[in-house]
Structure 1
Amino acid sequence: MNHLSSRAALAVLAATLLAGCTADPDRDAARGSDPTGPDVGPSASEPPRGPYSIAATDADERGSIVESTPLDSLDPLIAQRASDAQRVTYRSPSGIDGTATSVTAAILTPTGTPPEGGWPILAYGHGTTGVAAQCGPSQARDLLGQGTRIAAYLDAGYAVAATDYEGLDGIPAPDGPDHPYLEPVTTAYNMIDAVRAARAINDELSDQWASIGVSQGGQAAWAALEAAPHYGDGLSFVGGVAIAPAADLTPITDGPPPWSLGPFQLGLLPYVLDGYRAVDPSLDFDDYLRGSLADGFGALDGCTSTTGFASALTILGSTPDEVGPFTEEAAADIRDWLERNALPLDPTDEPLLVLYGDRDTVIPAAWTEEAVQRACAEGMTVDARLIPGADHFSIGQTDVMIDWLDERFDGQPAASTC
């Protein structure tokens, strides 16, 4: 099947997703890199020290600014709380092959007088907004539904470096890279380099920072925490908050194929496949999707807000008989991909707060608990809190997160539930 044309095939379904889900208004070998730009990946002479490591000789290029433009039309909810708001394009390496890429982010500074040492920074990882190039939140005036959380962080006195992640910069393949959905090393780099980019354009920002994110961004926040000791040199990391994190999706592959999945998980599979294809373009969608769902893969060209993602998953997951994998080999391939990306990848003693709901049907509580148990077994400092009655989209607990972050920036020791 020609999946380039199938991405445009089911226009009605895509329109349904867009109408119900959007906020405001085939990958090349070079991964969209700039051949004249700096190589910010690991050098051939210095092998990486771990999954998140990078050569120190390339340090000056990470987070370097390509372009910065004011975000003049932000939703008032955000704009009224920001003394400065910029959309930046900055350099950050691929976690897959180390190739230099350009990534975009929204950089927002609180109003008022900065504290001594400068505004502390939150590297914010957004939940799933889509896998198409136009789905970076910094391209939307309400940041594709991220505004409420970001406004709360600004109110609490934190500058926010909100990366769009590689491939969501508005430049579609082959001119730009595809988005490697749920590939944690890339998003860890993107998160940390967004902090560097923020400090490059604003000298009122501190070198102290924390990571925070929800769902896809929860994975990014956790991965950034693991990467900070190796990749975050020159910065001072204090901790991370992972909200309903996509820490480990390997339970999707439990049992013989085709897998027995819930509606949301069936809907999640096409996104996961799209991320895998960004790493391995030889992936054949026909091994995993059939019928109207395969023909309607163009629905993934739509962008969603955090709330709209639930509707997208419901529609995409409405045809379980059309979802594989249909061979043992295909099942093994995707299982291996998910296992290689399961957190923790590189355990660290940096403090981590994990919030998750007991009614989450996208990332069930048991999946999160298994990831936390592995982290605890590796000696990590994890404060894991199950929120009764909360599903994937209703964790809340903003005050709890901010109080926890305040304590980390104040230098207080973190509690552990391990």
Structure 2
Amino acid sequence: MAAAAGCNCPCGRSARPEAGLYGLVGALLAQVQCRHGGQLHSCARDGARDPRGARHQVIEEQAGSGGAWLGAERLWGEQAWGCMCLRTEEVGECGACEGKRGGAQMSAQWLWGRPLSSEETLRLLEASVVHREGALLALNKPPGLPILGLSGELSLSMLLPSLRRRLGLTAELHVVKAPTRECSGLVLLSSCHRVTEQLQQFFSNARQRGQHPATYHAVTVGVPAEAEGKIRTGLRWQQQGDTAMVVPVPVPGPRSLARKEVKSTLTYYRVLGAAGGCALLQLQPKTAFPEQLLVHLTLLLCPALGDHQYSSRVGRVLGVPFLLPPEASPARTQVLDEELLGRLGLSPHQLRHLPVHLHLQQLVLPQGPLHATPPPHFLHTLHCLGLPGYKEP
């Protein structure tokens, strides 16, 4: 859904889509517009990253690797999101623009007024439907919303019963395929267990035939040495302090594979465009493992833009990238050079709130492909970097 060209704010000022990267991005990131007092706004909220566990691993392997997209969770950092009209100078909290307003230029810091309620999040989900046919429902979600959250944490699965009622569906909704928390893109839901089983079998058979039912796009910091190729490695979970991380196992042993301590993974990639040391990549995973694509991109020495979890594994000496061992590279805010920060219009402080540029753009179903437009922050980055823009199929 494109941004409205000039929606009116209740305070009387007109919305302006060209209002600067992280004013506009914050307002439009969910790529849907929720209504407050009959006026168009865009909202999102923030939440804490959950430590991965077996429960998440099983669900995400069944659902497929990828991303997740609703501004209702950890989207830009540690604070909570508020609501913002699309105007250049004043930003208000959710609810007809009442609340604090400031005269400074619109910036990311104004976006974190308060967390969205479950009701506000439901309105966003309802507006994010991109396909509805029979028992199938597809949403286009922003980065940040987990499919399963921690106890008491807002998540998609928690909201599915309410979403079903709002959409007038009689049967329960459940997840067929979904990306991980950090990513944006397609979430496929079903209200029929038989349809779910058929689709999961379809995806499995397609991968066995060498087909790629899921296609992602990623903006990377760095350009792969080869224009296309594949990334093959074992992956496993490893505890690092209080955090569970995915680490590569270049040559997994047969015992570890048999015990399912390590999973053999494979991703095909193709460079769609490159400019200024960054690239737009097409990624087609043949296997499904949580955070597979983010880790695979580090093995290409081209971490995803906005990856504050694994990008520290790629170091640089005199501009030449090299791979660091996971034990020596704890998670931290991604490091970008001053030139790239300037092209993106970011300060170092804003950088830590930059979302991951990894988007599940296409799912091929038996009846044909589904597509999801990348979120506005992704499209704006393509424009800033001079990379190929998104084109409707």
Q: Is TM more than 0.5 here?
A: no
Q: Which has the higher strand share?
A: 2
TM-score by length of 1: 0.29
TM, length-normalised to structure 2: 0.31
